[in-house]
Amino acid sequence: MKSRTLLVIVAAILGAARPLRALETKITLALSGGQIIDGYEGAPIPDGVILIAGNRIAAVGRRADVPIPPGVPVIDTRGMSVMPGLADMHVHLMILGHSDYEYWDRKYLGHFAADTMPIAAKQLLESGVTFARDLGAPLDDILTVRGRIERGEIPGPRLFVSGPFIQRKAYAPHEESYRWGVNGAADARAKVRKLVDAGVDFIKMIDQDQLTDDEVKTIVETAHAGGKTVVAHAHREDEIRMGLKHGVDCFEHTGLATEPGYPEEILAGIRKRNNTLYWCPTVEGLYLADYTARTFPERLNDPAWQKDMPPAMARDIRQSLENVTHLDYFTLTFRRLPTLAHKFQQLRDTGVTLLVGTDSGIPGNFHTDSTWRELDTWVKLGMTPMQAIAGATRWPARFLKKEKDLGTLAPGRYADIVAVRGDVLSNIGLLQRVDVVVKDGKRVK
């Protein structure tokens, strides 16, 4: 009788929320205490409680209003900020921070699915990333790893993947497994259909200014016909122009090298689509290069990013980063830094929806600390912590068309939750040490 009464109370708490099926109403876990930041950018809930039924959230509210059924396991989150699991919308699981891509591919390409990607996935999850967008990898490898995570065989965030880049051609023969070149509209259509049929979540296009108008048009139209969005690089003006012309859904990077800002004509094109267009600026990796080279090179010796790696692999990565300022990869980076704040503000002023993504895995940009650094950089560039958090929770879920499942703390959402001691709304940098990670209703950290 008591258990039936508790279920009635929980149902009353849910109010107008989507009802849970009978099998889902048994509360299996609770988080009690702490300041709940639900992802909607409203006022936090003080002294809050989250009830979990299986892998879904059953109720969210103040502790005084949400009773915890007797016998339910409780995670004590008093003194913590409790938030939706974070998204990183631009990661590369196949790389772990090594500076020489050719060396890395030749030595580790055959080990991506078995070793490299699982290491990266676990690092991201333990850093509080519960869903992520992988933007470029060999097709079979990334689908294998996504499937293993979904089946619970290895730890990692919920993965949304593009598989190989679509571009003019691979830059080098060793890249052909993850860079698919197209030659003509028919070839572009065939390759996009192959990816769609394989089950990718979206299409990634780069160097679209080197493709013909018909090729870009065909890539976007074929992807959209298959129910997939298109993500594209924004390093150069003509890449952006071509993407805007043909309806690309999301641009990546704060580009234009050392140009002081985006031309007004491009900004006008972005403003026209600001209600439907997304942008992933990936700024922290640029600042991080300077921080690593000149401010705190000791971070390269941190054992955190080497966790779960074979020692020889960690040594390879560390040795490749011995002289950051000498690396070809960062040739223009240090000259780009003075332009970034203005470009970031220009993008904000257009009204385009910004998504937190980091290019995690590129040289020196480790999966263990890339995401919190991007959030921290956004705040330093003028966003409020609440706005930055929304860029890593609610808005990524909306882009993925998963807002009923991910990105917010509300009844019916997946129970993907992180908690960190202290007030992240006054110090976003606290996210560098996430204390609690719950994914799919189970505590994983």
C-alpha 126: how far from chain center: 14
Ordered strands of the 442-443 beta sheet: 35-36, 80-84, 417-421, 436-439, 442-443
Q: Helices marked H in 151-204 — which ranges?
A: 185-198
Neighbour count for residue 311 (Cβ, 10 Å): 8
Locate 54 and state its tokens. Answer: 């299986």
Nearest-CA neighbor of 113 among 139, 152, 91, 145? 145
| pLDDT of 5 higher than 50 | no
Residue 404: inside a domain, yes or no? no
Q: Helices marked H in 45-150 — which ranges?
A: 101-108, 117-126, 139-150
Query: What does the longest C-alpha to C-alpha distance in the chain come to?
Result: 71
Q: Average pLDDT, stretch 283-293?
A: 96
Q: Verify that 280 and 349 share a domain, yes or no.
A: yes
Residue 67: inside a domain, yes or no? yes
Write down the pTM of the prediction.
0.94
| pLDDT of 344 higher than 60 | yes
Q: What is the pLDDT of residue 175?
A: 96
Q: Verify that 184 and 311 share a domain, yes or no.
A: yes
Q: What is the pLDDT of residue 405?
A: 98
Q: Verify that 243 and 100 share a domain, yes or no.
A: yes
Q: Verify that 123 and 179 share a domain, yes or no.
A: yes
User: Domain containing 228 — which CATH number?
Assistant: 3.20.20.140
CA atoms of 22 and 42, how far apart (whole Å): 31
Q: Verify that 428 and 314 share a domain, yes or no.
A: no
Q: What is the pLDDT of residues 119-154, one digit of tens each?
A: 999 999 999 999 999 999 999 999 999 999 999 999
CA atoms of 400 and 145, how far apart (whole Å): 19
Q: Locate tokens 């922290």: which residue?
A: 284
Q: Verify that 220 and 266 share a domain, yes or no.
A: yes
Residues 6+ apart with CB under 8 A from 226: 192, 193, 196
Q: What is the pLDDT of residue 25?
A: 78
- Residue 282's identity, in one-letter code, is T
Range of the domain at 205: 86-399
Nearest-CA neighbor of 413 among 387, 439, 389? 439
Residue 14's pLDDT band, with cuts at 50, 70 and 90, is very low
Q: Verify that 245 and 325 share a domain, yes or no.
A: yes
CA atoms of 139 and 146, how far apart (whole Å): 11
Q: What is the pLDDT of residues 214-234, one digit of tens each?
A: 999 999 999 999 999 999 999
Q: Verify that 272 and 417 share a domain, yes or no.
A: no
Q: What is the pLDDT of residue 359?
A: 98
Q: Verify that 179 and 208 share a domain, yes or no.
A: yes
Nearest-CA neighbor of 210 among 232, 189, 178? 232
Q: What is the pLDDT of residues 261-272, one digit of tens each?
A: 999 999 999 999
Q: Verify that 78 and 202 share a domain, yes or no.
A: no
Any idea which of 1-15, 186-200, 271-285, 403-417 has the lowest mean pLDDT? 1-15
Q: Verify that 121 and 193 share a domain, yes or no.
A: yes
How many domains are contained in the chain? 2
User: Domain containing 62 — which CATH number?
Assistant: 2.30.40.10
Provide the pairing of β-strand 278-280 with 442-443.
unpaired
Q: Verify that 394 and 425 share a domain, yes or no.
A: no
Angle between helices 139-150 and 117-126 in degrees, nearest 10 = 50
